[in-house]
Structure 1
Amino acid sequence: MTQIMKIFKKGFLIVLLAFLVLVGCSKVKITFVGLENVETEYQVGAELPDLSKIVTAKTNTDAEVELSFDYSGVNMNEVGEYEIIITATTTGATATQKIQIKVVESGNPVISGTKDWIIEPGTNLPDLMAGVTAYDPIEGDITDKIEIQGLDKVDVNTPGTYNITYFVETTRGIIAFESVKIIIIDNEAYTGKLLRIDPLNRRFLVEGVGYLNYTLTTKYYQIIDGEVKEITFDDIVLGLDNVYYFINPEKPGIVEYAVIDGNYSYENIRVRINKSVSVSGDNDTYHSSIRLLSSDNIILKNVDHSKSYEVAKNQEILVTIDSQKNVEVKVGSTVVMKDATLITFNPKNNGLIQVLSISRGSSRLYPGRLEVSPAGNLLLLVNDVPLEEYLKYVVPSEMSSSFGLEALKAQAVAARTYAVNDIHAKGYISDGYHVDDSVMSQVYNNTNPNANSNNAILATKGIVATHNGKFIRANFYSTGSGATANSHEVWFDGDTPGEPVPYLTSRVYAKDFNGNVLQFDINDENSMLSYFKLIDFDSPDRSSEYHRWKTEFNISQLKTALQESLSSRYSAKPTQVLTKSGDEFKSLPIPSDIGNIVDINAKQRGGGGLIICLEIKTTTHTFNIYGEYNIRMLFRNITLYCSNINYPQYNSPKSFSLLPSGFFAIEKVGNTIIFYGGGWGHGVGMSQYGARELGKYLSYDAILKFYYTDIELTNVDKYSQETRIEDYEVIKQLIENYLS
């Protein structure tokens, strides 16, 4: 009986287990389908799509499912985060799914069609609303809400410039505004910041106006303290905001004469921001796209101010070039502005703009404003920045903050002078900038500002170096060889140095420890070799790692390297890479086989021992290479051994991209050619390592006068403090009196 009971219990348990499994398998499960296709971010005012066409549900039993959607907590007209609840119901089961969505601001209102007005005295104001509209992405056409502010200050009977503002506000409290000028004058004229000078097409690009054409007969004047003097086209420089362009009444759009009201102002400088600081070609100079971000609101404007748009802070801005070669600006997926000429990006409260799309050693935050214009199929990025702010990003990028206050002051004055000189050099006027941000000008914003550099800049605010009343070209470099170079023997065309620059002349400052200047003969290569082999002597640069250096080449291995570098330098500077042809040296393409290297020697030297011409002899050719940079670029990716006061023997090898300087001498030992040299850089002007040492016992002005001959220091801030007339009628009358 007991056995029977055991069998019965066992059978019962099996049946019970089977029943439970069957019941479990038949439980209805609901699965939502298509949730991944639901958008979770919408702009204010947008309509939600019909989610019943996106989201479905199914069961494991193929039973029919009914869906319901609860939107009761969602307000698409108000920014915020909301929840949509989806309920799925079938026989024996119910399931819910919550979807979080975000409603974001869709954009700001835009005022379009505004312009400056020029009218004659005593006439009635025109219809200032003609062609002006306002549009809001949510509320649509809001032109009827536009207010014109500042009209009470306009006196149509008194010549002058009056500012008025078109203002509009949405029901959500979002505002837009456009400022324009009403110019009361009897001879049409314009003014605004000069953004570009286009000599090829003879036109000026003026902010707030657009392009104005000039001719060979256009006259130029300057008024200082009420005195008129005639100047030339060359005296008109980029960035001036105190020029008045008087239009020939018989030739609309043609500048009859332009007048600088007051002196030059050096408050701002215009800097090209390269995609890459290597600047080896267009792909490093120009941008395929630009990404911007700021913790400040940014106001966008086109060049004539007919368009404007305000981007809220912390919104990423994407700038690209469209198929029609317009600059196109997007915020999110919305195109907020297009322009074929130029768009400015102005921080509303003087904040910084971060350029996310470039790589730098700094945080990539830029003061001032940014400007983007087309450059073929790419984009040109320019930073219009206050000069003293510019220096805060140049000085630490060019000199270590540990170099001491006096050296940093000297660097600040040199950098400021270099910048102001480049403003007048007008090297990039057709592209609309003064300098770029690489070693082609001065390195800018590759290192963040620091307290030491900022103190040096503030202590020398506005101070620049001049020679005979003109700004000097304040060249500087890393490390000296014990002597400086003559500027005209470093930068020249062809095979003949140009005219000397009186304040950039060579001097030997290397001394023995008794204070005697070291002697060497630039016409005797044995003398030069002895000098460059000398390590232990008194020099301001003796603590620099590049005080003395050497590099070695196996003569049989040089052929491959020089075959490539000679061709490269010929392509870059054909008038300075010459090949012997008969009894003459000519600019000829480098042959496909230059022959085996026989000899390399310094054929011509300049002040301080700088090599001006290097001669290379092969089994089939003789080449003369002129210019220190061309010479340095012949020997690429070298192994360098360095020595200074702390390392009297040459230290462990390091890789270097090119010869550190053109100050070297050559020794031949069997099949090995050894270059013994000193310094890093071109050798013209101020040595930065030298300034560091001199700054321990000299003031910054004494450092500058040590390196730049016969200079004076002056302050350019005085120019911006001078009174301007700022009255068209007075300016016009002064010019008429001058011409009568």
Structure 2
Amino acid sequence: MHTSGWFHGKKLKLITMAAVFAALVAVCVLLYFVMFADRKDKGITRAEAAKLIAGACVTDDEMAAFNTYDAASGWYTGYVQYAVNNGYISNDNPNGYVTEKDFKRFAAKCGSDAEAVGISLTGKDNAVIKKNDFVNAYIRLLKYMPNGNSVTSITTTVVGTPSNVGNASEWQAYTDDGIMHFAGIALDYAIDRSATLIVRGKEILCVQKTEDKTTLRNAWVIYGNGNTLSVFVGGVKREYKVSKLSQNIDNVMADINLEQGRVTAVNTKTDTISGKVLSADKDYIEIEGYGKVPLDDRYRIYRTYGELSLKDYGALIVGYDLSNFIVADGKICGAAITKPLNADNVRVLLKTDNFASLYHARAELTCSSAFTIVYGSREDSSERHEAGDIINADASSVYLTNGRMKVVPDNGGKVILKSVSRAYGNPEYDGTIEISSEEGGLVIINEVPIEQYLKRVVPSEMPVSYGTEALKVQAVCARSYVYRELDNNNYVSLGAHLDDSTLYQVYNNVTDSAASNEAIEQTEGEILTYNDEPVQTYYYSTSCGVTTDVSLWGSEPDDYPYFVSQAVGSEPVNMDLTVEDNFRAFIKNTKYKDYDRRSELYRWELNVTAKELSDSFNSKLAGRIAAYPDKILVRSDSGDYIKKSISTVGTINNITVEKRVAGGAVVSVIVAGSNATVRISGENNIRYMFGVADVPLVTAEGNFRNMSNLPSAFCIFEPADNGAGFKITGGGYGHGIGMSQNAVYMMVNSAMSYSDVLEFFYPGTKLKTAE
């Protein structure tokens, strides 16, 4: 580590040989004129124009479908058909150039004309519009196109296409901004040049312009010696010929200047800092001992152990010191991840009372032992306190004026958080407590050894009365879940891996117990893996007798083969539960030999009047549309479902299930009201919108329970028996993916071992001791 100041870069001299260089320049000039000097603006084809137009109009799914074309029909087929069918162009000849007649039609469709977008027309319908003029006009017209705000312009360096990258897929481009797709676009001429691209996400719609000079910012130099420079950039290895380097270099970050594809300068960056990552976002990384260090606008992350690879933002794991950070001009230019994660601790974000919020107005705490408070970005300030001393902090506290504060108990001590209440009172925590002041309030994080963390998770998630064997199942699932969440980085900007609520795993809502501790100790370090990777072991309270797969959440089941839809019992369900009549018959049958059949919410029923359901539904509607505008759509006069803000559907007259996924869970419902009709998509939205907090549902045991959400999306909708409202009949409690906790109790009592149960719910996985 260099501590005397942050490095500003070192330029390596390129030793020239005059005669050789002159010859090379001559060759380059000749090639330039052959390849580029005659690239006159002859116009833009209708295929190219159609791709631009469709890119600003269609949905993401339609865009993806256009790129799965039949090779025989051509990459442009879907784009051209869309542009013609929707009146943007009149001619479906993809190879013909866009004419003034075409352009006037396009502009008129957008409610504009040529003069308004700065194009001078000759008045001849067959005159060809120059490509540059069309593109400039297109940019001005984006605001009038349905998804024009999804189209942007970026300037990047193209470093590879299938022409120079052997394993590149068809139409795959490697750029300084990541891997992109360029169906139908001429791109080879732009390699190693600065290119201004019009893009929709990772799809290149058009090359607007190129320039001969460019800089590969923060590239990784694998080695440089003699006349060869081997560089890892944009996710691929490239070799460049250079005039003789003044010295050999290897495994270093550098800015590399190119002109007409030739290296003209190499500016290495060798100064580094390191330390535990405490938090990170798009503007900074907070490093223990350094505080929040700003990021260069071309910040890059490379994994340098094993096979060299370019990683994304999520590769940085908070709470661990795995990287060297390369710095220049007071900013982090990149990170070199030099070693794999060997997990031992987890960082848990602690919520307020009733797990209501991430942000606390204040923090009051003490410790069961003597303790130290460390604060300040360089940890140069500390205080010693005796056991029982009360510490208060809020946003104005001196402890938080220069970074975060950390509370460190002496060995064996616990931090007691007196400003928070849990089921057993004020919670106490092993490990350390960190507090930072964020925009929303104070954020409190408990960093704790994973095995200690589990001692407050397992009894919070499963009744200890279920016994050691069942608790062993829960322990492995909870541990596996943690290892997976370490990589997910959902709370990286706040400095945590997960929180302590049902959104992740309930932590420290009850005290530890002898039975759960024994289960944790007997499975110490064991996790479930698939292809040697930890499995994110989803679980829930109760099944309705079947499970579902990740299609419930819109994911591809083939990507998660260990989540399957199957019967949770000793006999199969031999019918397709995505069919409405089949699921209706299934959910009304309580005679299956299901492991969950004795659970209270194995079956449930909600009887509600039309007014009660409508009032509850309408009270939630506007807020839910604002939160999920793509998931709650309103039927237009033409019959299409569109994004629209409304606050009521009036009185609900009818509820129709539009789609069920594997196992029968509902993912799309049409609700027809007296004032409007809406389509509700998504398991969580359906459970939320049809829950009626003031009307109790009847459980399988005949008990009454008030629940603000439906217990699950495994349900049917029918008119009430008295014809005055609706009856919602369902089964299970939770999402239904993975393991049913209540089923585990019955399974271990029927002589199944914890490993048998895990294999049943997560087929194809393997038990492994975490490294």
CA distance in 2 between counterparts of 1:229 and 1:350 reads 42
1:275 and 2:352 matched: yes
Instruction: Report what 1:708 is aligned to.
Output: 762
User: Structure 2 matches for 1:4-403, cutoff 5 A?
Assistant: 118=3, 188-199=271-282, 201=283, 203-215=284-296, 217-218=298-299, 220-222=301-303, 229-234=308-313, 236-248=315-327, 251-255=328-332, 257-279=334-356, 284-302=357-375, 303-322=377-396, 327-328=397-398, 337-363=399-425, 364-376=427-439, 378-403=441-466
CA distance in 2 between counterparts of 1:414 and 1:291 reads 33
CA distance in 2 between counterparts of 1:463 and 1:214 reads 38
Give the conservation status (yes or no) of the 8 Å contact 1:487–1:504.
Answer: no
Q: 1:640 aligns with which of 697, 710, 713?
A: 697
CA offsets, 1:359-391, max 9 Å, x none?
101340011111111122621111111111111
CA distance in 1 between counterparts of 2:479 and 2:453 reads 9
CA offsets, 1:1-21, max 9 Å, x none?
xxxxxxxxxxxxxxxxxxxxx
How far apart are residue 396 of structure 1 and its match? 0.8
How far apart are residue 397 of structure 1 and its match? 0.7
Give the conservation status (yes or no) of the 8 Å contact 1:197–1:238.
Answer: no
Q: 2:478 aligns with which of 415, 436, 442?
A: 415
1:585 and 2:470 matched: no
Q: Bigger shift: 651-660 or 411-420?
A: 651-660
Instruction: Pick the structure with greater CA Rg.
Output: 1
Instruction: Report what 1:687 is aligned to.
Output: 740
CA distance in 2 between counterparts of 1:314 and 1:531 reads 58
What amino acid sits opposite 1:469 in the alignment?
Answer: D
Give the conservation status (yes or no) of the 8 Å contact 1:220–1:233.
Answer: yes
TM-score (norm 2): 0.61
Instruction: Report what 1:507 is aligned to.
Output: 565
Q: Bigger shift: 259-268 or 575-584?
A: 259-268
CA distance in 1 between counterparts of 2:319 and 2:355 reads 30
What amino acid sits opposite 1:300 in the alignment?
Answer: I
**Any idea what SS the aligned residue of 2:680 has?**
strand
Unaligned runs of 5+ in 2: 6-268
**Any idea what SS the aligned residue of 1:371 has?**
strand
CA distance in 1 between counterparts of 2:315 and 2:664 reads 40
**Any idea what SS the aligned residue of 2:675 has?**
coil
CA distance in 2 between counterparts of 1:469 and 1:189 reads 32
User: Structure 2 matches for 1:317-716, cutoff 5 A?
Assistant: 317-322=391-396, 327-328=397-398, 337-363=399-425, 364-376=427-439, 378-489=441-552, 491-492=553-554, 500-509=558-567, 516-522=571-577, 524-581=579-636, 582-591=638-647, 593-634=648-689, 635-637=691-693, 638-643=695-700, 647=701, 651-668=702-719, 669=721, 670-696=723-749, 697-716=751-770
**Any idea what SS the aligned residue of 1:656 has?**
coil
CA distance in 1 between counterparts of 2:635 and 2:558 reads 28
What amino acid sits opposite 1:295 in the alignment?
Answer: S
CA offsets, 1:431-450, max 9 Å, x none?
11110111111111101111
What amino acid sits opposite 1:421 in the alignment?
Answer: R
> In 2 relative to 1, CA 502–338 (structure 1 residues): closer, same or farther, beyond 3 Å?
closer
Instruction: Report what 2:196 is aligned to.
Output: none
CA distance in 2 between counterparts of 1:502 and 1:187 reads 41
CA offsets, 1:27-60, max 9 Å, x none?
xxxxxxxxxxxxxxxxxxxxxxxxxxxxxxxxxx
What amino acid sits opposite 1:715 in the alignment?
Answer: T
CA distance in 2 between counterparts of 1:543 and 1:345 reads 46
CA distance in 1 between counterparts of 2:655 and 2:562 reads 29
Q: Which has the higher contact order (CA 8 A, sep 6+)?
A: 1
What amino acid sits opposite 1:307 in the alignment?
Answer: S
> In 2 relative to 1, CA 232–352 (structure 1 residues): closer, same or farther, beyond 3 Å?
same
> In 2 relative to 1, CA 510–473 (structure 1 residues): closer, same or farther, beyond 3 Å?
closer
CA offsets, 1:261-311, max 9 Å, x none?
4320210111111113343xxxx2211111001121221112311211112
**Any idea what SS the aligned residue of 1:419 has?**
helix
> In 2 relative to 1, CA 240–273 (structure 1 residues): closer, same or farther, beyond 3 Å?
closer
**Any idea what SS the aligned residue of 2:354 has?**
coil
**Any idea what SS the aligned residue of 1:658 has?**
coil
What amino acid sits opposite 1:458 in the alignment?
Answer: E
CA distance in 2 between counterparts of 1:245 and 1:525 reads 56
**Any idea what SS the aligned residue of 1:483 has?**
coil
How far apart are residue 238 of structure 1 and its match? 2.6
**Any idea what SS the aligned residue of 2:394 has?**
strand
CA distance in 2 between counterparts of 1:198 and 1:309 reads 30
> In 2 relative to 1, CA 595–415 (structure 1 residues): closer, same or farther, beyond 3 Å?
same
Unaligned runs of 5+ in 1: 1-115, 121-185, 329-336, 719-740
> In 2 relative to 1, CA 505–263 (structure 1 residues): closer, same or farther, beyond 3 Å?
closer
**Any idea what SS the aligned residue of 2:617 has?**
helix
How far apart are residue 704 of structure 1 and its match? 1.4
